[in-house]
């Protein structure tokens, strides 16, 4: 009887370890190319609202405005990754755009939160692994530029898009 009990416990332990050992899901990476947005997982073309149907319309606009600005600036392709909960730095959600040699990360904050008020005042954000970094802040959105050569162009586009009234917070 003890042998069966030990066998059962070992089997249960191995099953638990096997389930825990599976890697976390990779965030879906989305690409846009010359006006077409598609997902490499199935190769189908989508628009931003199709990709994130559960996201509220104001956040769709938050993404659409930036994608629109990147296209208008003449960048043909970019890679978009939604950041995990561990990478949010206090934001409600965030997206990282790989554009040519660098990254642009947009963080969407609750404008009533203490962390947002601190960022608005200091124009700095604490990011795990990067420390305290300078950010541009407009209408609950903070933009962090990492390795982007034409910083002024992105800063101007960011302010034009999110100060324009097209973005409803």
- Name the residue among 83, 69, 85 with its Cα closest to residue 32: 69
pTM: 0.66
Interval 53-108: pLDDT, tens: 444 444 556 777 788 888 888 876 668 888 999 999 999 989 998 888 899 999 99
Q: How far apart are CA 74 and CA 70, in angstroms?
A: 7
| Angle of helix 151-163 versus helix 57-72 axis, rounded to 10 | 140
């Amino acid at each position: 009887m003890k042998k069966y009990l030990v066998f059962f416990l070992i089997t249960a332990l191995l099953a638990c370890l096997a389930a825990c050992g599976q890697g976390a899901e990779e965030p879906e990476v989305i690409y846009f190319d010359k006006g077409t947005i598609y997902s490499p997982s199935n190769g189908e073309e989508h628009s931003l609202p199709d990709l994130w149907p559960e996201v509220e319309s104001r956040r769709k606009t938050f993404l659409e405005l930036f994608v629109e600005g990147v296209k208008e600036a003449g960048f043909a392709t970019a890679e978009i990754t939604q950041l995990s909960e561990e990478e949010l730095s206090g934001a409600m959600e965030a997206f990282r755009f790989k554009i040519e040699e660098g990254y642009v990360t947009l963080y969407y904050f609750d404008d009533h939160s203490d962390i947002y008020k601190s960022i608005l005042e200091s124009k700095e954000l604490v990011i795990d692994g990067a420390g305290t970094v300078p950010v541009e802040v407009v209408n609950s959105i903070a933009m962090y530029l990492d390795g982007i050569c034409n910083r002024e162009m992105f800063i101007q586009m960011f302010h034009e898009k999110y100060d324009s009234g097209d973005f409803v917070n």
